[in-house]
Amino acid sequence: MIELLVQIIQNIRKMGWNVSQANGGILLVSQFTLMAQTQKGLRPDFGLAMPPAEAQALYQQLVDYARSQFKNVETGIFAADMKVHLVNDGPVTFNLEVE
């Protein structure tokens, strides 16, 4: 799965160049709240989320592999309360998901 995510990033060519050719950067931020089930009740249910230790190990594998493939990889802090500020230098931003 990690290699697939990085291959998807590497091969985005919607704008003519991939990340490496454009000398671009990648921001990897874990977002466990994406696994929240919100169909029932008044509170989100994170029961389907991976246990934190396993999720952190998987996230770190993704970070390590991405850094082995790209020059400019920035990360967030796993499970931290972060405010992410982004300035887009270009026409698009891609959100990638793999199941």
**Residue 93 annotated as catalytic:** no
Please identify which of the residues 33, 38, 75, 93 carries the catalytic annotation: 33
- Name residue 27's beta-bridge partners: 74
Distance (Å, rounded) from C-alpha 93 to C-alpha 60? Answer: 23
Q: Which residues are catalytic?
A: 33
